[in-house]
A and B are shown apart, each in its own frame.
Chain A
Amino acid sequence: GNSVTQMEGPVTLSEEAFLTINCTYTATGYPSLFWYVQYPGEGLQLLLKATKADDKGSNKGFEATYRKETTSFHLEKGSVQVSDSAVYFCALDTGRRALTFGSGTRLQVQP
């Protein structure tokens, strides 16, 4: 079956540090890949996506590249801010139009 594996959190960084949150997946076919973010007290929202191999999704300074050879979709940001503190979920869709989510990674950015 389909599955998504994320690095465990929490990840604690200082402001302006470089961020990487690892995500690998197992899926049949060619899934679309997503990063969702859940800020404190808010609902889940889409951060970025990539629909085919070698695509790079980007938004708000975050980037992730769809790597089919390593079945990965790692989230990166060059300089994090306190406002980036949230829980980040990696997810995939194999065309069923319902998502399989990873376990989530909590990011805490300290001033």
Chain B
Amino acid sequence: SAVISQKPSRDICQRGTSLTIQCQVDSQVTMMFWYRQQPGQSLTLIATANQGSEATYESGFVIDKFPISRPNLTFSTLTVSNMSPEDSSIYLCSVERGALGTGELFFGEGSRLTVL
């Protein structure tokens, strides 16, 4: 298994501000994923973060709104920019462990953001 730590675990933010979420993994991983879980809904993939290259964003998500950094193989950040109440969600970092291509993901406990 993998130990994934996210900070902050929760925050209350004002409209128009930005917040950066940190994800730290206890071992080196090639790919890290950022998901969003809106209230009462399922998880939606925001982007895939590879070390040394720009993140790959899913349809409906753009770099200006959700800039991602991946400075090394154990750490990534997701910034939620210019927040609005619609951004109130749980943001989850995840990594793949085990044999490549198994799709088995490990998740952090998430960062619950409330935007007022």
Residue numbers of A with Cβ under 8 A of B are 32, 34, 42-46, 49, 51, 89, 93, 95, 97-104
Q: Is B92 at the interface (CB under 8 A from chain A)? A: yes
Asked if A103 and B103 sit within 8 Å, CB to CB, the answer is: no
CA distance A95 to B101 in the complex (A): 6
Asked if A34 and B104 sit within 8 Å, CB to CB, the answer is: yes
Look across to chain A and name the residue whose beta carbon is closest to the beta carbon of B93.
Answer: A43
Look across to chain A and name the residue whose beta carbon is closest to the beta carbon of B108.
Answer: A43
Asked if B105 and A46 sit within 8 Å, CB to CB, the answer is: yes
- Chain B interface helix/strand/loop/mixed: strand
Asked if B45 and A44 sit within 8 Å, CB to CB, the answer is: no
Look across to chain B and name the residue whose beta carbon is closest to the beta carbon of A4.
Answer: B42
Asked if A43 and B92 sit within 8 Å, CB to CB, the answer is: yes
What size tier do the contact residues of chain B reach? 20 to 34
CB-contacts of B17-58 with A (<8 A): 31, 33, 41-45, 48
User: Quick one: given A43-B92, A43-B109, are A102 and B42 in contact (CB under 8 Å)?
Assistant: yes
Q: Which residues of A contact B33 (CB under 8 A)?
A: 98
User: Quick one: given A32-B103, A95-B101, A97-B101, are A89 and B42 in contact (CB under 8 Å)?
Assistant: yes
Q: Which residues of B contact A101 (CB under 8 A)?
A: 42-44
Q: A44 contacts which of B41, B43, B100, B102 (Cβ < 8 Å)?
A: B43
